Structure 1
Amino acid sequence: MSSEPSSPEPTSTVIDPDAVIWSASEADREGRPLLVLMHGYGSHEGDLFGLAPSLPLEPVIAALRAPHAAPWPLDGWSWFTAKVEGGPRRDEVNDSADAVIAWLDSLTVKPTSVGLLGFSQGGAMVLQLLRRDPKRFGYGLVMSGFVTPGDEPGDVELAESKPPVFWGRGTIDEVIADSAIVRTTDWLPAHSTLSGRIYEGLGHGINSQGVADARAFIERNL
């Protein structure tokens, strides 16, 4: 007796709407700005949502789950494959960025504006989203993140519009490669109105000063 055929693996990259954590009910989102949170590699949507009480109250906060399961032994999610020689694969990064844009397009209640905050891989996603759709996003916060290699069509527009971007990182971060830091240091001033801070003694993480700086930056750019 033959067994039931297995379901094919999904071929498209999508954001699971049921996994999104919201700070407000749908009825309370009308007429308000949106702040999208994107976690780091091997983490989950509940991670950065823990920052919500320390962030401004005006924006509705939505914490997304990355679309790919991180490989064993990690019990979490990823935006793209980690530790690829030469940097992340452009197609993977763009697929995930386009999935976030498609999720935004699917929202029933449209926000008055959209800001982005991401940590590590999520920080890379912040910049890639700005590059994929420069007009859509008002500002971005990159916490211990980086810009991915290569050129994007939106880079020319970003060089002209220079949206506000905050980049925070620690002095002893041993996770992000030096080459990625150099690349980001070169790219951001040419493509954004940059606010940056380097935190003495901080590794790969976000400290209390970083949270306070993030809050102030968001308040300035609402």
Structure 2
Amino acid sequence: MVLTYRFQHPRQASPGSVPLLVMLHGIGSHEGDLIQLAPYLDPRFAVVSLRAPLSLPMGGFAWFEMTWTEEGPVGNIPQARASLQLLSTFLEQVLQEGIPDVPFDPAQVYLMGFSQGAIMSLALALTQPEKLAGIVAMSGRLPAEIVAEAAPPEHLQNLSILAVHGRQDTVLPIDCGREIRDYFSRLPLRFTYREYDMGHEVSPQSLLDIQAWLQNALNERLESAR
């Protein structure tokens, strides 16, 4: 598998295939970042925390390079598309092969992305929704290029999405979160949006809400499969 990752086995045994939570970090971070949240999340999940493919000169990794302009952040779209293909291929491989002795349930794949990782999560959900049960998008944004390539709305009906954002975010301001809210609220899928008095971060309250949302989403999916 091309992408480097860290893996945590499910902390609670489940019969049959295992639900999978894939974590995507933000720009300048690494695979050891978000996985620190894994002990606080539903113990039935196996967790894979991915390292983005691009190494940055100042350290850390990125899914695509960014340029900050007076009009706002501008991403390298060809790099983003290449990273999205790597992510898609990784999911296909890991579902086919498993990770030693852990078979994953292809109907129970969730993404949890922060900042640039949230952008990637939203991009995969919109363009290849059949690969996912749901996503958690933390402190992200929705570039126009993603919207332009979105699958038809009826293809998104099985998705569940939680978007969270801080009102004091100075990296991706709250307007970015509200644009995500306004766009997804119109689509035929299960969408939840939350704002918090926090910056560009994961606060204790947002983590509690993420924990509850993932648990409920997993319970609903498992119940409907019976």
TM-score tier by shorter-chain length is 0.7 to 0.9
| 1:198 corresponds to which of 188, 195, 198 | 195
CA offsets 1:117-163 (integer angstroms, 9 cap, x no match) = 00000011110011221111001001111112133444323675162
Report if aligned partners of 1:39, 1:122 keep a CA contact under 8 Å in 2: yes
Equivalent-residue separation in structure 2 for 1:57 and 1:195 (angstroms): 22
Return the TM-score normalized by structure 1. Answer: 0.82
Aligned twin of 2:62: 78
Aligned twin of 1:106: 93
Aligned twin of 1:4: none
Report if aligned partners of 2:163, 2:181 keep a CA contact under 8 Å in 1: no
Which has the larger strand fraction? 2
Aligned twin of 1:59: 45
Query: What SS does the aligned partner of 1:185 have?
Result: helix
Report if aligned partners of 2:129, 2:155 keep a CA contact under 8 Å in 1: no
Query: What SS does the aligned partner of 2:42 have?
Result: coil
Report if aligned partners of 2:40, 2:211 keep a CA contact under 8 Å in 1: yes
Unaligned stretches of 5+ in structure 1? 1-13
Report if aligned partners of 1:134, 1:154 keep a CA contact under 8 Å in 2: no
1:126 matched to 2:121? The reply is yes
Amino acid at match of 2:53: P
Query: What SS does the aligned partner of 1:62 have?
Result: strand
**Matched-pair identity in %:** 26
Between stretches 104-113 and 156-165, larger displacement belongs to: 156-165
Report if aligned partners of 1:159, 1:190 keep a CA contact under 8 Å in 2: no
1:176 matched to 2:172? The reply is yes
Aligned twin of 2:131: 136
Equivalent-residue separation in structure 2 for 1:114 and 1:155 (angstroms): 18
Query: What SS does the aligned partner of 2:208 have?
Result: helix
Query: What SS does the aligned partner of 1:206 have?
Result: coil
Query: What SS does the aligned partner of 1:46 have?
Result: coil
The count of corresponding residues between Structure 1 and Structure 2 is 202
Aligned twin of 1:45: 31
Report if aligned partners of 1:42, 1:76 keep a CA contact under 8 Å in 2: yes
Unaligned stretches of 5+ in structure 2? 219-226
Equivalent-residue separation in structure 1 for 2:196 and 2:41 (angstroms): 19
**Greater Rg over alpha carbons, structure:** 1
CA offsets 1:62-110 (integer angstroms, 9 cap, x no match) = 000001012x32x100011113557323322222111111011222125
Amino acid at match of 2:32: G
Alpha-carbon deviation of 1:211?
Answer: 1.0
Aligned twin of 2:221: none
CA offsets 1:18-69 (integer angstroms, 9 cap, x no match) = x3111029xx896101000000110000000000100001111000000101
Return the TM-score normalized by structure 2. Answer: 0.80
Query: What SS does the aligned partner of 1:141 have?
Result: strand
Equivalent-residue separation in structure 2 for 1:216 and 1:178 (angstroms): 23
Alpha-carbon deviation of 1:193?
Answer: 2.2
